[in-house]
Amino acid sequence: MRGTKIIFLLLLFGHLSALPDTIRIGGLFHPEDDKQEVAFRYAVERVNADRAVLPRAKLLAQVETISPQDSFHASKRVCHLLRSGVAAIFGPQSAPAASHVQSICDTMELPHLETRWEYRTRRESCLVNLYPHPAALSRAYVDLVRAWGWKSFTIVYENSDGLVRLQELLKAHGPTELPVAVRQLPESHDYRPLLKQIKNSAESHIVLDCATERIRDVLQQAQQIGMMSDYHSYLITSLDLHSVDLEEFKYGGTNITALRLLDPERSDVQRVVRDWVYDEARKGRKLQLGHTSAKENMTFIKTETALMYDAVHLFAKALHDLDTSQQIDVKPLSCDAEDTWPHGYSLINYMKIVEMKGLTGVIKFDHQGFRSDFTLDIIELTRDGLQKAGTWNSSEGVNYTRSYGDNQKQIVEILQNKTLIVTTILSAPYCMRKEASEKLIGNAQFEGYAIDLIHEISKVLGFNYTFKLAPDGRYGSYNRETKEWDGMIRELLEQRADVAIADLTITYDREQVVDFTMPFMNLGISVLYRKPIKQPPNLFSFLSPLSLDVWIYMATAYLGVSVLLFILARFSPYEWDSPGNCIDEPQVLENQFTLLNSLWFTIGSLMQQGSDIAPKAVSTRMVAGMWWFFTLIMISSYTANLAAFLTVERMDSPIESAEDLAKQTKIKYGALKGGSTAAFFRDSNFSTYQRMWSFMESARPSVFTSSNKEGEERVMRGKGSYAYLMESTTIEYVVERNCDLTQVGGMLDSKGYGIAMPPNSPYRTAISGAVLKLQEEGKLHILKTKWWKEKRGGGSCRDETSKSSSTANELGLANVGGVFVVLMGGMGVACVIAVCEFVWKSRKVAVDERKEEASLCSEMASELRSALKCPSTGSGGGPANTRDGAGSPYLHYGFSTKSQLH
C-alpha cells in the first residue's frame, strides 16, 4: 500500500517537473582557442548520448565566436544568445569580454560557467567557475616551496595576474625571512638580459609564472645563458606544462616542477580523450592534434579545455537534479527589458552543491561557491618526460609518492651521461703535475690522491670528468669586505665547476654556501718544524748517569767513610798488632789503617778492586761492609744508566707544542693564507689561539704563505726560526720525505676533507655514498698508502731512521773518549807525584847525611843511576826494586806505621 503511494507520488512529481525537450546553452569562444569550442560541442554530444546524465532533455549548443578584446561585440552576442533562450552561458576566456558577459548574466540571473583563472569572483554572482580558486592554488605553491626548503628564490612573472597568483608565496616570505626577488618578463621576446641578471645574483631557485606558450621560449633562453644546469630549479605555475614541448630539457638535469589538475594517466581521462579524438576524426573535424597516440594527444588538451568538458557535465547534472524538484522552462530574455530567468539561481545553487567526478578530478565547491577543494599532481621533468612525483591537496598539503630511493636512482642515471667539471688546485700529494718527457694535455696532466679518488668515484657512479685548476690556486675563503668568496668555492658558486676535490677542509663557513660530501680523510692542525739539531756526544758523558749532586755526595761519602775508618781503627784495640808474629810482648804495636791506607782501602772497594788491607775489628768491618753495600748499589745504578747515556743522542727542541709557540716570540710561525688553518686561529675563542693569531697578523714580514710548499721551504730556510701551522695529513706527507722536518706536538682540532659541490647539488648524496663505499672497501686506505708512503720519494726518511737504529749499539770514540782522557790524566798526575816523591826523598837523605847543598844533585844522580840499574844477577828471585845499602830511600817503604806504645 505504502509502495504504491510512493510510485504514484513519483509519477506525479515526474510529470510536474518535465524539462523542455531541448535546452539551449550558449558558448562564447575566441577564434584562436578552437579547442574550447570543440570541447564544448563534444561535451554536449556526450551528455546527449548518455541518457543517464540528462534523461528527458537534450542540450543544444549555440556557439558564438567573439574577439577577445571587443567587449561591446561580446555583449551583443550574449544578448543575441539570451534572445534565443539559453539556459546558461559558457565562456568566454578573455578577461575583459568575460566580465561584460558576467555582468549581463548577473542582471538576467542566468548561470554563467567559466573555466579560467579569475580572482575577482564574487560569492553572490551568477558565476560558476570550475577553475581552482586562486587563493587555494597559491597555497599549493607555498606548500611546495616550503617542502623543498627553499631559502630564497626569484619570482619571474609576466603580468600583474601573476603577482596575484603568487601573493600567498610573497606573503609567506615576508621581509623577516630570506629575500624573494620579483622580476617581470619584458614585453619583447628577448628574456636574456633579465635571465642574466638573475644568474649574476647566483639565484638558482626560480618560480616562473607566464603564459604556457611562453614557457618554452623562456626555458630555451635560460638554457642559452647557462641557467638550465643541474643546480637550477624551476617551479612553473602553469597547470598546462604537459602541453609544452620539453624534449630538449629532459637530459639537462634541471629540476623543473609544475602542478597539474588533469591527470592524463587516469583511465577515464584517457578513454574520453581517445573517444573524442576518434569522434572528431570520424566527423572530419580538425582537432589539429596531429598525433596518433592518445597519450601524445593528451599533451594538447589543456586544463581549460578539460574544464569546459566538465562544466557542461556539471550543468547537465545540476539541471537533472533541479528537474527532479521543479518545473523548468527556458524563456528568451531581452537585454533591453528588466527580465530575469526565474530558475537561474536555483540552477546555480544546484551546481554549487553537486559533487561529481570530472576529467579534472572531483568537482565540488566550498560554501562560498569557489572550487577550493581539489587535488593537484606534482609533476617533474625526468629523462622519460614529465612524471608524477606526488600530489597536493588543500587538506594534506604536499605528499610525495616517489620514494627517496627512486629519486636517487634517477639522479645516478642522470650522472651516467654527464661530464662533470672538477675544480682543484696543485697541492701535493692531492693533485700534482705528472712528470713526463712529452707534453701532456687534459686530465692526463695530473696525478695524486684526489685525482685517483675522483677516478674511483667515477667508476662507481659512471660519470666522466674534466679537471680545471682554480685560477687563483686558492682553497676558498670569504672576504668580508668584498663579500665574495675566492678559490675553488668561488668556482662552485659561479657554477663554473660541478665538483671541487682537493685537501679542502669542511668548515662551517664553507658549508653555509656549498654542499660537502662525507669526509674522505680526517685530520687536525699541527705544527711543522725543523727536527732538533743533534748534540755532539759529550766527552765526559760517562759522568752523565749520575747527576753532579750525586757525584759530590759520593766524593763526600768517600772522604767521610775513609776518615771514619781511620778514626775507628785507631780507637779499636783489635786493629793494633805486633809488627812481627814471633814477638810475644811487643814494645811497639802497629795499626795498618793509616789515613792514606784508609783512603786506599775505600777507593779500592769503590772501584770494585779491593786491596791488601782488611779490617779486623767489628767496628771497622761494619764500616767496610756498609761501604761495600753502598758501592754495590751505586756502581750497579751507574752501570745500568751508563748505556743509555752513551748511546742516546740528545735532541734539544725549543718547542714541544703549539702552546710553547704561543709563549715565545723568537720563533715566528704562520699558516696558509686564506686557508681553513688560518681561519681556525682567526675565529677561535680560545685565548692561546687568539694570541697566536694576533702574533701572526702583526708579524712583519708576513708569516702567511701562498701554498703549503712555500711553508715547508720557509721552515727549512728558517733553520729553527720559523714554524708552520699545517694540517696533520700534509705534515705526515712532508716528514715522510723531508727528513729535516718533523711534526711538533699533537693536533689542535679535528676535522675532515670533503668533496664540495654547488649548493643544492643533486649529486651530493650519490657521491657521498660512493665515498663511503670506497672507505668500507679499504680503497681510501690503499690510496693513502700509495701517495704518502710509496710514490714520489715516500719512505725515504724511514730508511734513515732504520739505518741510524742499526748503528745505535756501537760506541764511537766521541762517546767514550772521556775515559781515555781520565786515564791519561791519571797517568800524568802519577808521574808528577813520582818525581816529587823522588826529589823530596833525595833531598831528605842528603840533609840527613849532612851533605853539602851542591851534593844534592850528585845524590839525586846516584839515586837515579841505582834506580835505573838492572837488578843484579845474584839476587835470585827477590824483588826487583829492593836494594841494599844504607841511605837507600826504599829501605823505609812499607805499609806500616810504627807507633810507640805508651
- For binding to ligand ASP (CB under 6 A), which residues are involved? 475, 503-505, 672, 675-677, 726-727
What is the SS3 string spanning 441-469?
CHHHHEECHHHHHHHHHHHHHCCEEEEEE
Report in angstroms how near the CB of residue 712 gets to ligand ASP at its nearest.
12
- H/E element holding 562? helix 548-571
Rounded CA-CA distance 163/184 in Å is 10
Q: What is the dihedral of CA 113, 114, 120, 123, to 10 degrees?
A: 30
The per-residue DSSP string of 811-878 comes to PPHHHHHHHHHHHHHHHHHHHHHHHHHHHHHHHHHHHHTT--TTHHHHHHHHHHHHHHSPPPGGGTTS
Indicate the angle between helix axes 95-108 and 71-83, nearest 10 degrees: 30
Q: What is the dihedral of CA 806, 811, 812, 813, to 10 degrees?
A: 180
- H/E element holding 7? helix 2-16
Indicate the angle between helix axes 618-647 and 595-606, nearest 10 degrees: 40
3-state secondary structure of 208: strand
Report in angstroms how near the CB of residue 726 gets to ligand ASP at its nearest.
6
Give the nearer residue to ligand ASP in terms of CB position, either 320 or 490.
490
Give the nearer residue to ligand ASP in terms of CB position, either 498 or 503.
503
- 274-312 in b/e form (b: 16+ CB < 10 A) is eebbebbeeeeeebebeeeebeebbbbbbbbbbbbbbbb
Q: For residue 747, which amino acid is it?
A: M
- 508-539 in b/e form (b: 16+ CB < 10 A) is eebeebbbbbbbbbebbbbbbbbbbeeeebbb
* Dihedrals phi, psi of 63, to nearest 5 degrees: -105, 135
Q: Which residue of this chain has its Cβ atom nearest to ligand ASP in the complex?
A: 675
The per-residue DSSP string of 636-704 comes to HHHHHHHHHHHHSPPB--S-SSHHHHHH-SSSEEE-BTTSHHHHHHHH--SHHHHHHHHHHHH-SS---
User: Is 677 annotated among the ligand-binding residues?
Assistant: yes
Give the nearer residue to ligand ASP in terms of CB position, either 716 or 822.
716
Report in angstroms how near the CB of residue 534 gets to ligand ASP at its nearest.
30
Give the nearer residue to ligand ASP in terms of CB position, either 94 or 677.
677
Rounded CA-CA distance 728/525 in Å is 6
Report in angstroms how near the CB of residue 703 gets to ligand ASP at its nearest.
14
Give the nearer residue to ligand ASP in terms of CB position, either 475 or 693.
475
Report in angstroms how near the CB of residue 677 gets to ligand ASP at its nearest.
3
Report in angstroms how near the CB of residue 656 gets to ligand ASP at its nearest.
22
Report in angstroms how near the CB of residue 518 gets to ligand ASP at its nearest.
16
Give the nearer residue to ligand ASP in terms of CB position, either 504 or 655.
504
User: Is 257 annotated among the ligand-binding residues?
Assistant: no
Residue 129: partners with Cβ closer than 8 Å, 6 or more residues away = 113, 114, 115, 116, 118, 121, 370, 371
Report in angstroms how near the CB of residue 709 gets to ligand ASP at its nearest.
12
Report in angstroms how near the CB of residue 427 gets to ligand ASP at its nearest.
8
Report in angstroms how near the CB of residue 790 gets to ligand ASP at its nearest.
23
Give the nearer residue to ligand ASP in terms of CB position, either 474 or 779.
474
C-alpha 685 chain-centroid distance: 22
Report in angstroms how near the CB of residue 746 gets to ligand ASP at its nearest.
17
CA dihedral for 244, 250, 255, 261, sign (positive or negative): positive
- 470-504 in b/e form (b: 16+ CB < 10 A) is beeebbbbbeeeeeebbbbbbbbbebebbbbbbbb
Grid cell at residue 519: 669526509
3-state secondary structure of 65: strand
Rounded CA-CA distance 219/202 in Å is 17
Report in angstroms how near the CB of residue 646 gets to ligand ASP at its nearest.
42
Report in angstroms how near the CB of residue 680 gets to ligand ASP at its nearest.
8
Give the nearer residue to ligand ASP in terms of CB position, either 240 or 727.
727
Rounded CA-CA distance 869/881 in Å is 10
Give the nearer residue to ligand ASP in terms of CB position, either 298 or 726.
726
Report in angstroms how near the CB of residue 303 gets to ligand ASP at its nearest.
51
User: Is 676 annotated among the ligand-binding residues?
Assistant: yes
Report in angstroms how near the CB of residue 674 gets to ligand ASP at its nearest.
7
The per-residue DSSP string of 468-528 comes to EE-TT-----EETTTTEE-HHHHHHHTTS-SEE-SS-B--HHHHHHSEE-S-SEEE-EEEE
Give the nearer residue to ligand ASP in terms of CB position, either 394 or 477.
477
Distance between start and end Cα atoms, the chain: 171
CA distances from 886 to 439, 515, 764, 810, 883 (A): 104, 111, 113, 56, 9
The Cβ-side half-sphere exposure at 315, using a 13 Å CA radius, reads: 39
Q: What is the dihedral of CA 59, 315, 49, 92, to 10 degrees?
A: 70
Which amino acids are annotated as binding site for L-glutamate, given as ranges?
A: 505, 510, 676-677, 727
- Enumerate the known binding-site residues: 505, 510, 676-677, 727
